[in-house]
Structure 1
Amino acid sequence: MKNLKIGDKLTRIPLIQGGMGVGISLGRLAGSVAKEGGIGIISTAQIGYREADFDADPEKANLRAIDSEMKKARAISPDGIIGYNVMTALKEHAAHVKAAVKAGADIIISGAGLPTDLPALTEGSRTKIAPIVSTDKSANVILKYWDRKYKRTADLVVIEGPEAGGHLGFKKEEISEYTPETYGEEIRRIIQTVKKYGEKYGVEIPVVVAGGIYDSSDVKRVLDLGADGVQVATRFVTTEECDADIKYKEAYINASQEDIRIVKSPVGMPGRAILNPLMKRVADGVKIPHTPCHRCLAKCSPADIPYCITDGLINAVKGNVEEGLLFCGAKAWKAQKIDTVREAVQELFA
């Protein structure tokens, strides 16, 4: 197995811990993964939800928490590789990227749209940048754009497949059409595209695969396809170090394979989540009352949404799993117990 090189730092295992919001991937989880030799990722999505002024001024609360959560992670792993996941779809995407750079991010990973402005927002810093892509087409679009506009390329590329959790980079009908074999071919095509840009700039761009990576057999499968590493999210939810409430973790343990469904987010994007009372009411067409706008997603219209994604995700992370949005990967049903980050890493790289 290769180690992943991020700037002047090298992982001990080819692992990135996926960024999960709201509040699932914060400083404790990211620092713990970095301590074990992987790359720990903090999600900036409504990261300041626990701040006293979050309801009144979510922008300031989030920016403050971006800094404080990095400090928590660094306290756990002073020399580890720690970065942020900053969704392109966020209203305050640019401000979050700048705050992440200021906080000392080793890397920023960005998806939920194409992060066209990421090179400009990080210019002059030591922070490395990585787009999330799901198809060879999207990989070509973003790498060609960065090449032409900024005369640079990615430092790393994350391929997020159809078995991932949360918002997905596919149309709903595409998700069921892909098989492990056909998506394996898509992964190979993306790797070749990335290699082409790496050769142009005289660098090696690591390619990391995410979505449906739960155990060592999944790791082996994508490494055999030619990937340099894996990004794993769902597997780390049921660890002691995960920043979510214990009831959130137990929801994964109690879920069956049939409970995991493709749902529509309030902004129309497909996502994967555990079917619970909230999702059942939404599926029945019930409009859920929500709090005043917390300025999360750029394309959200508060007057028109069936429910508030911020309310749903905050309810979930705080343990209100009946009224919460429980995003998860396709293999969340495999969770059987609460263990530690170290045990999860050992299982992944047995």
Structure 2
Amino acid sequence: MDFPQLKIGDLVAKIPIIQGGMGVGISLSGLASAVAKEGGIGVIAAAMIGMGEPDIGSNYREANIRALARELRAAREKTDGILGVNIMVALTNFSDMVKTSIKEGADVIFAGAGLPLDLPSYIKDGAKTKLVPIISSARAASIICKKWLSKFDYLPDAFVVEGPKAGGHLGFKPEQIDDPEFSLEKTVPEVIEAVREFEKKAGRPIPVIAAGGVWDGADIHKYLKMGAAGVQMGTRFVATHECDADIKFKESYINAKEEDIQIIKSPVGLPGRAVRGPFLDDVNSGLKKPFKCPFHCISSCDYTKSPYCIALALVNAKKGMLKHGFAFAGANAYRVNAIVSVKELIESLRQGYIAAASAA
């Protein structure tokens, strides 16, 4: 009872695992190509991808376009597997990132942090890029399907449903995060039900992928049994040799205890989940981190009222400078106790899945 394939239209991933796109340099070509090579879907995150470019402060748009094109090409040189790009709808350069991904032949665009209501408008004749919104409710799935159908005669190629145990920015109100009504276990079947009528109209499946707190092979088995076509996992892939973050970022997971995984109020107006450290302790005790906003990267960020710049904090964390930033993490990050290769991680997930399937 090995892993089933994950099919998104004519794309066939050998294993039903998508590596979550982790922004500000955590999942770039290194991690994405390693996952794609093992038969999963590797994902490059577009948020602040140009952070290493010398002109990122003065030429934000061009720096990010250049960096995304380069990362996609670098990943493509290492694998002929399936590569996606994660693009937050809230990014001020959303349009640039979508156009660049399509032009460079990305297999999939995953779009969350807002409803990507105009995403199909970017697909020109002959473009094969699949469009997969990331949502957190059945209502959001229905809104997108109706809008895309009426305006573009197009339906999503799949949906990623992200529950409240995910890392980074969450599409939930703070009081919903621990409410069982909003749990992934409850939402996945609701989304599957909501997309059923649209599958009939499309004349094809619209696979639903479960994300947010998926930890091991038994979890994968649970969601697939529920009707999900696959899972998306972020946190587990941080603790791999191939992950593009600094070793100190990865070690922050290994060193974290359960109480260190905290919900924070992000400057962009959403709750987020992160590993507690000196930077967040300072922010919590009211210390401001003075900054100028060189990027204007997120449309919902009011930098005039913000205690710190989240882009700079996350860039610093990616580089391992955790006194000047913090690591986003999923609810289970404290369970990470070793850094392994992507190959070893996927093999252990496979064994866990096989064990759960044979016990069922």
TM-score interval w.r.t. the shorter chain?
A: over 0.9
Name 2:334's counterpart in structure 1: 333
Q: In the alignment, is the contact (CA less than 8 A) between 2:184 and 2:210 conserved in 1?
A: no
Aligned to 1:311: 312
Give 1:179 shift: 6.6
Counterpart in the other structure of 1:12:
14
| Match in the other structure for 2:354 | none
Please tell me whether the aligned partners of residues 162 and 178 of structure 1 are also in contact (alpha carbons under 8 angstroms).
no
CA contact (8 A) 2:8 2:207 kept: no
Structure 1 residue aligned with 2:201: 200
The answer as to 2:323 corresponding to 1:322 is yes
Higher deviation after alignment, 82-91 or 142-151:
142-151
Q: TM-score, normalised by structure 2?
A: 0.94
Q: Tell me, in whole angstroms, the C-alpha distance in 1 between the residues paired with 2:329 and 2:60.
A: 25
In structure 1, distance between residues paired with 2:39 and 2:13: 5
Which residue is 1:170 aligned to? 172
What is the distance in 1 between the residues matched to 2:138 and 2:329? 24
CA 123–2 in structure 1, closer or farther in 2 if over 3 Å, else same: farther
Distance 1:59 1:327 in 2: 24
The residue type equivalent to 1:142 in the other structure is I
What residue in structure 2 maps to residue 281 of structure 1? Answer: 282
3-state SS of the aligned residue for 1:273?
Answer: strand
Residue 44 of structure 1: aligned partner: 46
Who is 1:53 aligned against?
55
Q: Secondary structure at the match of 2:172?
A: coil
1: CA distance, partners of 2:94 / 2:244: 22
From the superposition, tell whether residues 184 and 7 of structure 1 become closer, same or farther in structure 2 (CA, over 3 Å): closer
Matched, 1:70 2:72: yes
Contact 1:90 1:296 in 2 (8 A): yes
Q: How many residues align?
A: 348
Deviation string 1:221-277 (CA, Å, 9 cap, x unpaired) is 211211010001100001000000000000010001100011011022001001111
TM superposition shift of 1:7: 4.7
Matched with 2:358 is: none
Equivalent position of 2:355 in the other structure: none
Which amino acid is 1:308 matched to? C
- Supply the distance in 1 between the matched residues of 2:57 and 2:294 (Cα, whole angstroms): 9
Ranges in structure 2 where 5+ consecutive residues have no aligned partner: 352-360
**More displaced 10-residue stretch of structure 1: 194-203 or 87-96:** 194-203
Q: Structure 2: which amino acid aligns with 1:16?
A: I
Counterpart of 2:41 in structure 1: which amino acid? I
8 Å CA contact 2:23, 2:46 repeated in 1: yes
SS of match in other structure, 1:49: helix
Q: Structure 1 runs of 4+ off > 6 angstroms?
A: none
Q: 1:1-350 to 2 correspondence within 5 Å?
A: 1-77=3-79, 79-124=80-125, 125-178=127-180, 183-350=184-351
The 8 Å contact of residues 39 and 81 in structure 2, kept in 1 or not, is answered as yes
Segments of 5+ residues of structure 1 without an aligned counterpart are none
| Aligned-partner SS, 2:209 | strand
For the residue of structure 1 that corresponds to 2:42, the secondary structure is: strand
TM-score (norm 1): 0.96
